[in-house]
C-alpha cells in the first residue's frame, strides 16, 4: 500500500535543500523555483525595466523631433520655384473671387511642409495693389518632397474690378521643415 503522507519532493536549484515539488519559493533560501513566473518579482522587474526603456526611447525620439536640428527655410528659399501659374475669376453674388493655381518645384534635398504661397497683383506701373496669401493659421499648406514638385491653389476676394487682376507674380513666402513637429 502506498503511503499517503509521503509527498513528492525535489531539490532547490539554489541551496540544494529538499523541498516539496509544488513549492514556488524555497522555504530555506527564498529563491523562486520557476524561471519565468508572472508572480516572480524578477520577472515583474524585468518587464518594468523593458517598459521604461521603451518609454525613454520614445521620449528621446519625441524630443529629437520637437527640439532637434531643423533646416531653416531662408537658406533654401531660392530652391523652391514657382514653375507655372494661372489666374481665374469667379463671381459669387456681388463679389468676385480671384483664384491662382500653379505648380512649384523643390530643388533642395529637404522636404518642406506648410509651404506659404502668395500672389501679388500689380497695376500698370508694376506696383502691387492686392495680394492673396495662404492663411497660416489653421491651414495645412502644400507639402513638397526633395527634388519634387507639387501644386497649389490660393483664392481671395477681389478688391478691384476683375480686369485689374491680369498682371501678377507668385512667390513662396515661407515653409517648415517636415521634421518639425509644430
Report pLDDT digits (tens) over 85-125.
999 999 988 889 999 999 999 999 999 988 889 999 999 99
**pLDDT higher than 60, residue 138:** no
64 pLDDT tier (thresholds 50, 70, 90) = confident
**pLDDT higher than 50, residue 158:** yes
In this prediction the pTM is 0.60
Where is average pLDDT lowest: 38-52, 72-86, 126-140, 146-160? 126-140
**pLDDT higher than 60, residue 4:** no
**pLDDT higher than 80, residue 59:** yes
Where is average pLDDT lowest: 27-41, 49-63, 71-85, 139-153? 27-41
pLDDT the model gives residue 100 = 93
Element spanning 63, H or E:
helix 41-67
Locate 140 and state its grid cell.
495645412
141 pLDDT tier (thresholds 50, 70, 90) = low
Locate 129 and state its grid cell.
495693389
Distance from C-alpha of 16 to C-alpha of 65, rounded to nearest angstrom? 54
Mean pLDDT value across residues 153-161: 90
Element spanning 127, H or E:
none
Mean pLDDT value across residues 52-71: 85
10 Å CB burial of residue 53 (0-12, 13-18, 19+) is exposed
**pLDDT higher than 90, residue 134:** no
Amino acid at each position: 500500500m502506498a503511503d499517503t503522507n509521503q509527498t513528492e519532493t525535489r531539490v532547490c536549484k539554489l541551496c540544494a535543500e529538499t523541498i516539496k515539488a509544488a513549492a514556488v519559493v524555497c522555504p530555506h533560501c527564498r529563491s523562486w523555483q520557476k524561471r519565468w513566473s508572472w508572480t516572480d518579482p524578477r520577472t515583474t522587474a524585468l518587464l518594468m525595466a523593458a517598459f521604461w526603456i521603451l518609454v525613454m526611447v520614445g521620449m528621446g525620439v519625441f524630443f529629437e523631433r520637437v527640439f532637434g536640428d531643423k533646416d531653416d527655410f531662408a537658406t533654401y528659399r531660392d530652391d523652391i520655384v514657382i514653375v507655372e501659374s494661372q489666374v481665374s475669376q469667379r463671381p459669387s453674388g456681388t463679389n468676385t473671387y480671384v483664384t491662382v493655381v500653379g505648380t512649384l518645384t523643390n530643388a533642395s534635398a529637404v522636404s518642406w511642409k506648410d509651404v506659404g504661397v502668395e500672389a501679388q497683383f500689380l497695376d500698370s506701373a508694376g506696383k502691387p495693389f492686392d495680394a492673396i496669401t495662404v492663411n497660416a493659421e489653421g491651414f495645412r499648406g502644400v507639402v513638397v518632397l526633395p527634388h519634387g514638385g507639387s501644386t497649389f491653389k490660393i483664392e481671395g476676394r477681389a478688391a478691384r474690378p476683375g480686369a485689374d487682376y491680369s498682371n501678377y507674380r507668385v512667390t513662396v513666402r515661407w515653409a517648415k521643415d517636415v521634421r518639425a513637429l509644430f
